[in-house]
Structure 1
Amino acid sequence: MGLRERKKRETRQRIADVAMGLFAARGFDDVTVAEVARAADVSVNTVFNYFPAKEDLFLDRRDWAEGRPEEVVRQREPGESVVRAFRRDVLDAIATRSWRYGFNEGSDVFTGMVRESPTLLARVREFHVEREEALAAALARESGAGGDDVTPRVVAAQILGATRALSDYAVRRMLAGEAWSSIEPALKEQTERAFDLLEHGLGG
């Protein structure tokens, strides 16, 4: 990466970090883009050059997070099904407390800010739809499914619905003040159960 590109990435990250600090301290709806710009020592136009909307300051990792499910599909091991690949990825995220499924320290604070802001709540719901559509498109390409085949959309909805349920479960217990040491074993058990259902069917 060249110097110019590196500086642009550093500027983007600094703006996002400053914005998140302000949002955490005062709430998303009570912070303006102009205040973020002043705190980051840049112009308002510079902020909008990197982040088209205020919500994008909060969801600064959105592009990576949206593309992550497709990456899981693309990087699965030889002979590994999509469901097994996601099971492995979620269990790895639990073990490493990765933010990609909301298992990181601070995800309870993040969730609290989203719940307090109707604007953010709407944007996050929109993000989940976009993520599901991106995964469905990836599955359709992988399987060669035709445009009238609903299978990729059904699979994408079920897999990402399961990961959201697991994330909600973990965050709910974090918000209740439980230590990760007590959450982790139960979360692993819930993950295995959820992916067993996906792998073997919901008929029971």
Structure 2
Amino acid sequence: MSEPTGLRARKKERTREAIGNAAVSLFLARGFDRVSVNDIAAAAEISKPTLFRYFPTKEDLVLHRFADHQGEAARVVRGREPGAGPVAALHGHFRAGLDRYDPVTGLNDHPEVVAFHRLVFSTPSLAGRLTRYQLEDEEALADALGEGIQARLRAAQVLAVQRVLARSNWQKVADGRTARDVHPEAVADADLAFGQLR
């Protein structure tokens, strides 16, 4: 009998998650450049070809954690309430992320999250790959905003603002402050930045 599709998909997702977790643990312990793909395959108890079926590049082993947020800004714009402007919807979404201490806002002081962001920001190949993800997000947001240069400029501005805000929040937390302590400043900064976008 064949395995039900839902079960097979869940098993694949669990395997993908296990590989990603093993990789990130090794990267955090030793540094990205000091860990080989063979090290990760051994830690995850899989073959190297199996690893590459789940993650095409070594960088993807880290950045898969951003996958849940891929295209998020475009989804927020498309799913906004009738009458709500796109920038207002994105501002509300970012503020809600701050209130949840969502790691993507930079406002999260869990030691592993802080270390993970440090790994990404301090490893040139990861920072470069992250830029590619951001450019894909920019294209998706521009499509959601409309057509032409104005939509592209607005998308670039919004995502630059979110990136700067998140990096600023992370830096404050990385410097030793708690996320709860930084929260009021992060909210004020977001209000100022999105206010300027409007």
- Structure 2 match to 1:73: 77
Cα distance in 2 between the residues matched to 1:62 and 1:172: 19
Q: CA deviation at 1:99?
A: 2.4
- Structure 2 match to 1:155: 154
Of 8-17 and 111-120, more deviation after overlay is shown by 111-120
- Structure 2 match to 1:83: 87
Q: TM-score, normalised by structure 1?
A: 0.89
Closer, same or farther: CA 179–61 of 1 in aligned 2, 3 Å: closer
Cα distance in 2 between the residues matched to 1:84 and 1:39: 45
The number of residue pairs the alignment matches comes to: 192
Tell me which of 44, 60, 78 is aligned to 1:56: 60
Gaps of 5+ in 2: none
Q: CA deviation at 1:69?
A: 1.1
Closer, same or farther: CA 112–61 of 1 in aligned 2, 3 Å: closer
Q: Give, as a single letter, the amino acid of the residue that structure 1 aligns with 2:155.
A: A
Q: CA deviation at 1:181?
A: 2.0
Q: Give, as a single letter, the amino acid of the residue that structure 2 aligns with 1:134.
A: A
Summarize deviations over 1:34-78 as a string: whole Å, max 9, x none: 111111111111110010000000011343322111111121111
| 2:106–2:168 CA contact under 8 A, matched in 1 | no
- Structure 1 match to 2:118: 112
Closer, same or farther: CA 97–179 of 1 in aligned 2, 3 Å: same
| 1:107–1:171 CA contact under 8 A, matched in 2 | no
Cα distance in 1 between the residues matched to 2:47 and 2:99: 40
Q: Give, as a single letter, the amino acid of the residue that structure 2 aligns with 1:137.
A: D
Gaps of 5+ in 1: 200-204
Tell me which of 126, 131, 136 is aligned to 1:130: 136
- Structure 1 match to 2:169: 170
Q: Give, as a single letter, the amino acid of the residue that structure 2 aligns with 1:19.
A: A
Tell me which of 74, 98, 104 is aligned to 1:100: 104
Cα distance in 2 between the residues matched to 1:100 and 1:63: 11
Q: TM-score, normalised by structure 2?
A: 0.91
Cα distance in 1 between the residues matched to 2:74 and 2:65: 15
| 1:133–1:153 CA contact under 8 A, matched in 2 | yes
- Structure 2 match to 1:202: none
Give the root-mean-square deviation of aligned CA atoms: 1.4
Cα distance in 2 between the residues matched to 1:97 and 1:103: 5
Residues 1:33 and 2:32 aligned together: no
| 1:114–1:121 CA contact under 8 A, matched in 2 | yes
Cα distance in 1 between the residues matched to 2:85 and 2:152: 16
Cα distance in 2 between the residues matched to 1:70 and 1:61: 18
Cα distance in 1 between the residues matched to 2:133 and 2:71: 11
